Amino acid sequence: MPKTIEETVNELADREAIRELPQRYCDCVWRGDVDGLVGLFADDGVFTIIGNDRETTNKGHAELQKTYKAGLATLTPRPYIHNHVIELTGKGRASGRCYVELRDASDNLSWLGTGYYHDEYVKVGDRWKFQSRRAQMVHMEPKMAKGTGGSQEKK
Amino acid sequence: MAKSVEQLAGELADREGIRELPLKYCDCVWRNDMTGIVDLFASDGEFITKGFKREHRASGREALLKLYNGLTQGELTPRPYIHNHVIDLAGGGRATGRCYVELRNLKKNMEWVGSGYYEDEYIKVGDGWKFKSRTFHTAYMSMNPG
């Protein structure tokens, strides 16, 4: 059965709100807005960095706050997001992937590396949030590999 | 209170209209369509550049056209790529946003020359959205855009 106009408009609104989450994430990183970053996650939201030799997970606003504050102070990354795909799964849930390039503000915006995020989204009230972000680095320049413990994808 | 379908559709259309402005801006720069760039601004629109040492402001169509016509006269012919566009609708036909740009130089084999971001103000003029102002903040430039 074809979707009603109301269903279609609601889906478009959901997709638009979800599409903006990784964009705002990057905007917050650029501006060093840790509170803004953490506010994009659900209260029990999870951020994970995955790689060859280890997987680091932080859950909940307090842990996220601590991790992002330390991470932004160490690496001064400047991210650019690409190729965001979204799948609405119903009942206020969705998933997606998006790809990121990183440059280094403390070194004339030299290239730091690239990777992708696997995201789970959840609708909290009338807003969409990250339920989880899993960051998989594909390539990291030495400075970034050191800063993240060398967690990049196997080649 | 939940938004009505009409409100949601109106907001989506506004966001789509605004999202296209920085994309069209880049498209015009790539095609050297300086009149096209100026048409993206309101008649009293402003472009402000904030570098590390100086600020430059061009206001109104004539000043904007003069500014953009000088864009490719130096050593840099910019080819921009836009990223990370966030939009906040403010109501009453107004909105603000930020987006991030990387520049490459056509005159030097598309060498990466720098990056920065735009702080934008948008205004609805008739049925369409325009730039009320664009303020470019340099994060890093390997050469002076002129």
The model carries a pTM of 0.92
Determine the number of helices (DSSP H) and then strands (DSSP E) in chain B.
3, 6
Mean pLDDT over each residue of chain B, to the nearest integer: 94
For chain B, what percent of residues have pLDDT higher than 90? 88
Chain B residues with CB under 8 Å of A23 CB are 84-86
Give dist(CA B50, CA A145) in Å, integer.
33
Chain A residue with the nearest C-alpha to that of B12: A13
Q: Is the pLDDT of residue A149 over 60?
A: no
ipTM for this prediction: 0.91
Domains of chain B as residue ranges with CATH: 5-141 (3.10.450.50)
Q: Lowest mean pLDDT: which of A74-78, A87-91, A128-132, B120-124?
A: A74-78
Helix (H, G, I), strand (E, B) or coil at A24: helix
| pLDDT (tens digit per residue) in A76-126 | 999 999 999 999 999 999 999 999 999 999 999 999 999 999 999 999 999
Q: Token pair for residue A57?
A: 């997970």
Q: Which long-range contacts (CB under 8 A, 24 or more apart) does B61-64 make?
A: B64/B37, B64/B38
Q: What tokens were used for A36?
A: 């803004």
CB A136, CB A118: distance < 8 Å = yes
Q: A119 forms bridges with which residues in the sheet?
A: A96, A133
CA of B138: how far to CAs of A107, B52, B54, B127, in Å?
14, 7, 11, 32
Asked if the Cβ–Cβ distance from B100 to A126 is below 8 Å, we say: no
CA distance B123 to A138: 41
Give the nearest partner residue to A23 out of B3, B85, B102, using CB atoms: B85
Q: Domains along chain A?
A: 5-147 (3.10.450.50)
